[in-house]
Structure 1
Amino acid sequence: MFVILSAGIFLRAWPTAGFHGVGYDEGIYAGYVETALKEGIWNYPDIVRAYVKWQEERSDAVVPATRIGFLLPASALAAISRLDPLTALRCVSLVSSVLLLFATAIIAYRLGGSERMLLLTVLMAVAPLQIHLAQRSLVDGYFAFWAVLCAWFLWENLQAPKHKGWLAGYGASLFVLVLTKENAAFVFAALIIVSIVFAVFKLGRGSVFLFVVSLLAPALAVLTLAALVGGVGEWIWFYRMFVQKSAALSYPILFQDGAWYRYLIDFTLLSPLVAVLALGALFQIDRESRPDVFWALLLGASYLVMSAVPFGMSLRFAAYWDLHLRWLALSQVLQVAEKLPRIRPLFALAGVILILAAVDLFQYWRYFVHAQIYDPVSFQLLHASRLIK
């Protein structure tokens, strides 16, 4: 296990990205952190209000300064360590990616035992999107970490509804998630759908406390954001304006729109074997395998809401699905391994996992090293795959 985790950390920490420039979003984030350092982190509400005024005067939308779940830790790190803003943001992304890898191991052990812990951690260690985001100053890898924590703590609460620790962890992670990015609304919707399904079909044990925390934590986060903007009314007005101006941007119109199956195509291009195995697992899920049902429902519910957003579909936004897909893919591999009487299951598993890992590492090299992709949108993936010229 130590070797697997060390390899995963190395892949994330060692700078291998082919794109060495500063992306548009990265530059905006770095600007917010730099302003926070100059004016003081405690004066961040003034920075947010200045941003809102600036956004009102612009005809296009700019990455919001209200993503304080990501920006404040980066600002604090930059202030303490005297790192430049861009490096501080990258450090936050790297640390969150490493923590997600550790969380994967713990989740797999608690839900599936030692064997699944080893195998799932291998698959997450070589996940191309996770390695890429760990080396960027973007919010999406950090968001993925908190989204997975929310899912994990929800599972634990459905199994042990009276456990105060799991309930507190769920509330805290959901609170930070909402403060991190607006896409938290999609994760929240998926969590609620899964909670209802598990309660109705008696797959888990819900509780009044879980229901209250599921509503209270995001509500407190929204009130926090509203206070930064100037009030609830101002917050509603701001986000309406932001959504309207975002829909008019040329980049989302050209590269972040498409049919409902866009995410399926993108993940197949990025991790073809994992995507195919996960899709196959969806047709063989057994009700008795509740972890499989849980991850499949969470994936399906979030896919349903995220694929319905016009001009708002990007592989980066769905980075937290990596765990869901790899869990389901591994379930399919384990089922197939048990049906190979002439080959020892251990040898079959080792061979398949090595193939999956090798393919994912090659895909990372193809897209993010050789093709120097910064934002893995469909056009870039298709072009790097030579499916379009």
Structure 2
Amino acid sequence: MKIFAQKLLVGRTFLANQTVTVEDGQITAIGGGGPADFSVWALTPGLVDLHCHGGQGFDPELNERPLPEFLTILLCHGVTDVLLTLGAEPLPTMRRALAVVQTAMQQQAAGKLPGAHILGVHLEGPFLSPERPGAMPPAALLPPTLAAYQTLVQGYESVIRQVTLAPELPGALELGAALAARGIRVQAGHTDADYETAQRAFSAGFTGLCHTFNACRPLRHRDPGVVAAALLDPNVTTECICDLVHLHPAALQLVYHMKGPEAMIAVSDSVATHGLPDGRYTVAGQDYIVQNGVSRCANGTLDGGGVYLDGAVRNLQSIGIPAQDACLMASTTPAALLGLPRTIHPGHPAVLVGWSEGWQVERVWRDS
């Protein structure tokens, strides 16, 4: 198979008028011109979402809508790989969700479940600060101990790829270090940590900040907090919800100029109510209002992001971030954090997104 692209993203550069040859799901050659089976305006690596709870009525903690349908929706938005994210809920609810994800991953390994590839689970809870719960139910939050973690994940250890913790909580640094030693990626998030505590966390195995600026101690000139610690540490990545509602464009530009496309991660943080028509909804006993495409809790708190990653790519460009960097922050950069080769290079898997002008997803290739 040959794919011709007017713009081909290779590394951090767009090459003009290139043809990518694919054989048995692998990229075998890149060159100019020649006949092609497909032609697109732009070709980039597949989008990788490391923070996605659900959307269009689906949430693995609710299991109210079939997972295969949601994975197909993600693929239509260019999302080829996803880390399904579980928020803080009662432990039986979270364990049921882990079982749903584990079964789905087994089905995908057997080639029986199409759509976006599930990379595993991101536990965004329950080990979060009651001072910064965001949209999480405070009653579901737990102190961070290895015993509590093991109780939660017993039987599902292999599906956990990323955990968000509030590092200021007693036991959090020890739990974070233990998880990092097991190869699990650890982030600070939903945290009231001050600058010094955040620095200690980033020296103890924490390598990222969950949805930067949101649900964490604000950045102040005499109390810079976890945000400043993350921005100033070259070894720490910063998630950003790029719906232009959770973060002002200037906040996104600040993170971009501080971290660059190699350490700024575009995420959707989409939730079950994302993509539903405006209206009132009850999810897991809690009331939500969707207005103008934005989901909020009944008390007005923002509840999850308002765009999938293709929308994030468009939004980042709309505030002046170059197209190649917007694409990298939604594909190659997050993929690298989990060891995935998501670059367009001979020998790499052909996990690709073809775009039409205006950065609308036109076609997705994902056979491996």
TM over 0.5: no
Q: Which has the larger radius of gyration?
A: 1
TM-score, scaled to structure 2: 0.30
* Structure with the higher fraction of residues in helix conformation: 1
TM-score, scaled to structure 1: 0.29
